[in-house]
Amino acid sequence: MSLPVITSIIFDKASYGPGDLITATVNYQQGTSDVTQTLTGTATDTTTGQTGTLVVSFTVSAKDVTDITVSDSGDHAWTKILKDDSKAVFQAVA
């Protein structure tokens, strides 16, 4: 399995005036979970009706759902305006 990774945080401006709208774009990679699956194979002799069974396990790496949140040292109120599998966009008022 792997944890989600935040690859970058990008602001739309270098600095803001009071009251300006701040837009921050967060690029990230979703985490994955290793899910063990079991595959059972069964063979049946149609004459005798006897069966033989083989159980095989395998692992599936599945993408996890990732929650993205933001806070800052100035306690600005951040609003999430977009999120997909690799990017989230937040806005706050400077």
Partner 1 sequence: MSTYTVTVYARDRVSGKTTSKTASFSVESVSQSQVLLAEALAGSASAHMLGMQMDSRLEVPGYATWCDANLGHSLNVAGLFVDWQTTPATFTERFHDCSDPNGAVPLITWEPWNFGDTAATPSPPSYELGDIASGAYDSYVDGIAGAFAAWGQDVILRWGHEMNSNWYPWGWRQFPSIPAHTAAYVAAWQHIHDRFQAAGAMNAKWFWCPNTIMSGNLLGQWYPGDEYVDVVGLDGYNTQAQSNAWRTPSAVFSASIADIATFTSKPFMIGEVGCAEYAYPTWPTTPSSETKSSFMEEFIDLLASTPDAFGFAWSEWGGKQIETTDDSTQAMREALADDWASS
Positions in the binding site for partner 1 (CB under 8 A)? 1, 3-6, 9, 11, 14-18, 20, 22, 24, 26, 28, 31, 33, 64-74, 76, 94
| Structure token pair of residue 65 | 């759902």
Between residues 42 and 69, which has the closer beta carbon with respect to partner 1?
A: 69
CA atoms within 13 A on the CB side of 49: 0
Please name the residue that has the structure tokens 């979703």: 30
| Least distance CB 3 / partner 1 (angstroms) | 5
| Least distance CB 34 / partner 1 (angstroms) | 10
How far apart CA 26 and CA 86 sit, in angstroms, is 8
